[in-house]
Chains A and B, each alone.
Chain A
Amino acid sequence: MSRSPATAPTAPRPAPGGPPPAREPLPARLLRIALTERVALLAVLLVVVVAVFWWQGRNQYLVAPYDLPYLASALESMVPVCILAIAQLLVVVSGRGGIDLSVGGIVSLAGMVFGFCVGPFGWATAPSVVVAVAAGALMGALNGFLVAYVRFPALIATLATSYAFGALALLSNDNAPISDEPVQELHELTRSLAVPGVGDVPLQVLTFLVPVLVVAWLVLARSTYGRSLYAVGTNDVAALYATQPVRRTRFLAYVGSGLLAGVVAVVTVAQFASARPDAGSAGNGMALPAITIAVLGGVAIQGGVGRVGGVVVAALLVTWLNAGILLAFEGSEGSRYQLLALGLVLVLSALLNTLALRRYGRIS
């Protein structure tokens, strides 16, 4: 199971003396990849979901058309959760039960910092953004120190800090959100951008999400640090023997997670034109949905395995699935069926994956 996403399928070993293994026909090959590679599986699912809803929309089965503009505008709610899922990807891959429950708290607190800078302090946007993101990174550094150097279980360390950060956010402005004039003007950062043929794409997709994804991909898939991270996550003792700076590598993963949470804080404040002390904890909070997306995207909770691609496809799938479901019901049932859908997608895709892996003999 844990092997599936990150490793290429082992090519058949030419059995010496025996007949050379028969070449696998293309369709069979595609099927195998679609079933064994989590990313491929999700991609197929994504296409199916969109196609079905689009068709239903065309034939008036939905209360409104499920068209490109709608899909585009739905991306707005995907940006935060997707970035935070990438943050989880970083820390989960770093291994030893890695996880970051504090992203919600960081979003709240960094968001308040941002709000204070822009509002009461009246700073320009650019420096405020830098400060907010830096604040996020700093909080991540605290997590990283506790987990990598003091060796706290990540779950406990980040749970504790999430309580703390959340409380500080509330205390910072005595429960009140900051939403004065300059903060409201921040909404400009997330106004929608008319893209010919598509419709209005939320600006933050281009200004925040895409850059984050590109950088994350480069770091994880192409950089030396990425390699070190996967090594540490797979077996940190072996990594130590392979001269990896185990503690620093793990530490940096949490810094990265905090930094991304800081970015999300900026996006959220801009999107809602107000810095809310409970931004990251309202509703179900931001941590669990992010972890859910990461896990759906094939990030193996035991570490060392996970890809940016998988997380992105998972985020798209969930976002557009939810958007469709809302249109499928007149009344309030929609948001309930969203829960059902998410649950089923999680379990069934994983089930399909394991069955396939057994079928294709990749797990013994």
Chain B
Amino acid sequence: SKKTDTAATGTDGADTTTVAFVPKLQGVPYFEAMNAGGEAAAAELGFEWVYRGSTTADAGAQTDIVKSLIQQEVDVLVVAPNDPDSMAPVLQDAADAGIEVMTADTDAPNSVREVFVNQATAEGIGTALTDSLLEAMGGKGKYAIVSCGQTAANLNSWIEVQKEVTAEKYPEAEIVDIVYAGEDEAKATSMAKDLMNAHPDLTGLVGECTSSAPGVAKAVAETGKIGQVFTVGLGTPQAMKQYLDEGSASTTILWDVEKLGYLTGWAGKQLADGTAFSATNEVSADLPAVEYTDSDKMLLLGPPLEITKDNVDQFDY
């Protein structure tokens, strides 16, 4: 069937703007939820939303996709870079092609992006993770972190904060080890078990990303240590539900991903229309006051959410 893409081939100056979003990879609930939010924004604010992700999370594949979007002459390009610095060059190409460039979820600070839609500050996430875990652990004890990609910039920045917060606020608590399981839940589970074996007195585990959060919870459940070892993590609600219910996961730290997607779409539309952001923006009824800091050109969704078994059912992703 013909792709009637008046906007895409923007030559005939049609008015519909196209905002394209490139996730780190397709198919994971997190980005699919952002996509849903973006589509909602597109419907309400009247622009075209393109969502195109690769099957593997690497800079090369992402670059090819960005290229195809440049070729498509979209008006706004939003990227959640797998590797921030690697994206800089191709984002430059996009800007040269007259496309408004922005980042969401993960920033590319050294790039030409005009705005970064941030879900929450590293401080916010790191602190929330640490506080909710140590609340479960009773403010003291040894815990370990099961992270994912060794080179994932944002995860590493959160871990830094967790270290600081633990050191300052919880003198009796200690991070005994940090391991990397990649985007592989099974590996995360097995590594979590290794950690519990290596440190019999371990009382806490953090799953740093959406694949290791359920992973560590599963490990606790399978070793029957529910109540002895507490886990928190950045997991998507539906994936964490069963663990939150059975108690192998205390809390999962996240934010309203669909709202993040909506905000992203909105921001893209603003860029396309050339409307500048003000210090606080009324984006929608759900997002009455989104803050914008001009120094680092960053839109901030707000503080992270603490999702527990009580509110997990509010989210359908």
Contact = CB atoms under 8 A, between A and B. Distances in A.
Interface of A: 59-65, 70, 73-74, 76-77, 80, 170, 175-177, 179, 184, 187, 190, 271-274, 276-278, 282-284, 322-323, 326-327, 329-332, 334-336, 338-339
B149 A184 contact: no
A63 B65 CA distance: 13
B190 interface: no
Nearest to B26: A332
Contact of A274 (B51, B57, B86): B86
Interface stretch (B66-74, B135-143, B202-210, B235-243): B66-74
Contacts of B83: 177, 272, 274, 276, 282
Q: Closest 8 A-B residue pairs measured CB to CB?
A: A283-B58, A272-B86, A282-B58, A283-B56, A179-B85, A274-B85, A326-B68, A64-B72
Nearest to B54: A335
A22 to B, nearest CB: 50
Contacts of A62: 3
B122 to A, nearest CB: 16
A176 B57 CA distance: 17
B9 interface: yes
17 contacts: A60-B2, A62-B3, A63-B8, A63-B68, A64-B8, A73-B71, A177-B151, A271-B89, A272-B85, A272-B89, A274-B86, A276-B59, A282-B82, A326-B64, A326-B67, A335-B26, A339-B55
Contact of B5 (A60, A176, A274, A282): A60
A13 B99 CA distance: 65
B311 interface: no
Interface string B66-96: 0110011100000000110110110000000
Contacts of A77: 60, 63-64
B50 interface: yes
Contacts of B54: 283, 335
A331 B51 contact: yes
B50 A331 contact: yes
B208 to A, nearest CB: 13
Does more than half of chain B's interface fall in helix, strand or loop, or is it mixed?
loop
Contacts of B3: 60-63, 330
B187 interface: no
Nearest to B64: A77
A59 B58 CA distance: 32
B194 to A, nearest CB: 17
B44 to A, nearest CB: 20
Nearest to A269: B86
Given A64-B71, A276-B151, A283-B61, 5 more contacts: A63-B68, A64-B5, A277-B150, A326-B52, A331-B51
B73 to A, nearest CB: 7
A273 B2 contact: no
A64 B65 contact: no
Contacts of A339: 55
Nearest to B23: A332
Nearest to B56: A283
Nearest to A285: B58
B113 to A, nearest CB: 15
B2 A70 contact: no
Contacts of B27: 332
Contacts of B73: 64
Contacts of A76: 63, 67
Count chain A CB atoms within 10 A of each CB in B27, B64, B72 and give the residue with the most: B64
A278 to B, nearest CB: 5
Given A272-B59, A336-B55, A63 B5 contact: yes
B88 A74 contact: no
Nearest to B61: A283
Given A64-B9, A64-B68, A335-B55, A273 B89 contact: yes
B156 interface: yes
Contacts of A80: 60
A203 B230 CA distance: 53
B156 A175 contact: yes
Nearest to A328: B3
Most buried by B among A272, A278, A326, A332: A332
A63 B10 CA distance: 11
Contacts of B156: 175-176
B101 to A, nearest CB: 15
Nearest to A192: B93
Given A60-B5, A175-B150, A283-B60, A335 B53 contact: yes
A332 B51 contact: yes
Contacts of B314: none
Interface string B141-156: 0000000011100001
B151 A277 contact: yes
